[in-house]
Chain A
């Protein structure tokens, strides 16, 4: 969570609000912020740290581990219409990479702004080549996009 905190300004510039969720109480969230996270991030956690003791929220997102009684590492990108555009679910021992999350947000925002006229191929980052879907592109992607050069 400290990794999200240090990227919070970047996320804010992209118009993204952050909600973190675990089964811990809001009181434990406070102590975790005060005693550890703030020291790692160099500032207090700036986003909403939600508490989901019984796993009600985790269950509807399909990431609640009933046996362990904890949430799995589930990350969801939700657009301004409330539609889930991306999700990533991992078991606990491996952490997320915020650069990849931000890359995906950039891509989804680009596609949304283009209203579907352009799409972002594998590995797309701002400034890289997009594709314009249509009859002319069928079987011709190889002419305009190369996985070694453009990825």
Chain B
């Protein structure tokens, strides 16, 4: 079910595909994947991304937190001032 983007030299985050057939995932280049834009009242697009968590390098996946409330905070960058 999850779309694994592993294998890149540099770990990056990506949207997690929802129950898309494996073969389709491989055939469709990333740019052609229908972009899900988050809207209130709809399902939060699932994703996984490399993370730093309590002294360790990990992978965080949004859907691992189903059953809990999640506060998802984007910000412009580390070491920025606000």
Query: Closest CB of chain B to A68's CB: distance in Å?
Result: 8
Q: Are A70 and B76 in contact (CB under 8 A)?
A: yes
Q: Mark A23-54, 1 if CB is under 8 A from B, else 0.
A: 11111111111001000000011111111111
Count class of interface residues, chain A: 35 or more
Chain A neighbourhood of B15, CB < 8 A: 56-57, 60
Q: Is A119 an interface residue (CB 8 A)?
A: no
Query: Closest CB of chain A to B60's CB: distance in Å?
Result: 4
Q: Are A22 and B75 in contact (CB under 8 A)?
A: yes
Docked Cα-Cα span, A5 to B19, in Å, equals 34
Query: Closest CB of chain B to A92's CB: distance in Å?
Result: 4
Q: Are A61 and B37 in contact (CB under 8 A)?
A: yes
Q: Known interface pairs A19-B73, A53-B12. Does A86 touch B52 (Cβ–Cβ under 8 Å)?
A: no
Q: Which of A51, A73, A75 meets B51, CB within 8 Å?
A: A51
Q: Which of A33, A51, A60, A80 meets B68, CB within 8 Å?
A: A80
Q: Is A105 an interface residue (CB 8 A)?
A: yes
Q: Mark B15-58, 1 if CB is under 8 A from A, else 0.
A: 10000000000000000000111111111111101111111011
Q: Known interface pairs A16-B68, A61-B37. Does A95 touch B76 (Cβ–Cβ under 8 Å)?
A: no
Q: Are A60 and B38 in contact (CB under 8 A)?
A: yes
Q: Are B71 and A18 in contact (CB under 8 A)?
A: yes
Chain B neighbourhood of A92, CB < 8 A: 76, 80, 82
Q: Are A95 and B82 in contact (CB under 8 A)?
A: yes
Q: Is A146 an interface residue (CB 8 A)?
A: no
Q: Are A52 and B72 in contact (CB under 8 A)?
A: no
Q: Known interface pairs A53-B13, A75-B74. Does A81 touch B66 (Cβ–Cβ under 8 Å)?
A: yes
Chain A neighbourhood of B36, CB < 8 A: 60
Q: Is A83 an interface residue (CB 8 A)?
A: yes
What are 7 A-to-B residue pairs whose CB atoms are below 8 Å?
A: A4-B73, A16-B69, A28-B79, A36-B79, A57-B49, A63-B74, A71-B76
B residues with CB within 8 A of A: 10-15, 35-47, 49-55, 57-58, 60, 62-63, 65-80, 82
Seed contacts A26-B11, A48-B51, A83-B41; 6 additional CB < 8 Å A-B pairs: A19-B60, A26-B51, A48-B53, A56-B14, A82-B43, A92-B80
